[in-house]
Amino acid sequence: MKIFIDTANIERIKEINDWGILDGVTTNPSLIAKEGKDLKTIVTEISQIVDGPISAEVMSMDAEGMVAEGLELAKIHPNINIKLPMCIESLKATKILSSKGIKVNVTLIFSAQQALLAAKAGAAFVSPFVGRLDDIGIDGTALLSEISTIFNNYGIQTEIIAASIRNPIHVSTAALAGCDIATIPYDVLKMMISHPKTTEGINKFIADYEKSKKN
């Protein structure tokens, strides 16, 4: 499973990219708003750091505006994907942008039916939101399995990006469900590294080594 980072923070992207595990980046208007810079500046900077897909979300709510914004953003770098919120207008825009060879990530997916429609319209990616379903008492990871099964049943090539990831278990469950990608916040990536038994083991190796030097 590919790992994307879900942030627009350049320092954090650089830090995780240096780990050697990063396959791409997703942003959204809320993440961009936290950084105090405009979308184009941020995705340009990201494209100079990460060699992989970078999702940039449009703000228009009509197909014509989505396509116009998408075409502008796609000029920035070949790795830029256009993120569109799931709705009728975005299905139309997905069809147009994908026919021009521009990859679309349809976001705010909360049902398998929405994912199926986005895929039919030509989306390269769909982003089901796991955490926000959990927030309302619905098992978000079950949605990942449903979409994965449906796409496998029909050989649908659209990649599933498990999004709205809130903890490391969401990540392993996404992988078990066969998701192609998980887009993971910085803090969750950090949590994935640690295990108390690993820390304990390292400390014991160091202590034993230091003891052996004294013998």
Which residues are the active-site residues?
A: 83
Of the candidate residues 5, 28, 116, 122, the single one contacting ligand G3P (CB under 6 A): 28
Is 96 or 158 the residue whose CB approaches ligand G3P more closely? 158
The residue count for binding ligand G3P (CB under 6 A) is 10
Q: Which of 22, 85, 86 is nearest to 54 (CA)?
A: 22
Residue with tokens 């240096």: 18
Based on CB atoms, which residue is closest to ligand G3P, 2 or 132? 132
Chain positions 125 to 164 lying near ligand G3P, rule: CB under 6 A, are 127, 129, 131-132, 163-164
Find, among 196, 137, 128, the residue nearest to 162 by Cα: 128
Output the smallest distance, CB 183 to ligand G3P, in A. 5
Q: Which is nearer to ligand G3P, 52 or 131 (CB)?
A: 131
Binding residue (CB under 6 A) for ligand G3P from 5, 22, 26, 70? 26
**6 forms part of the interface with ligand G3P (CB under 6 A):** yes
Residues 6+ apart with CB under 8 A from 41: none
Minimum CB separation from ligand G3P for residue 2, in Å?
A: 14
Min separation Cβ 178 and ligand G3P, Å: 19
Contact footprint for ligand G3P (CB under 6 A): 6, 26, 28, 127, 129, 131-132, 163-164, 183
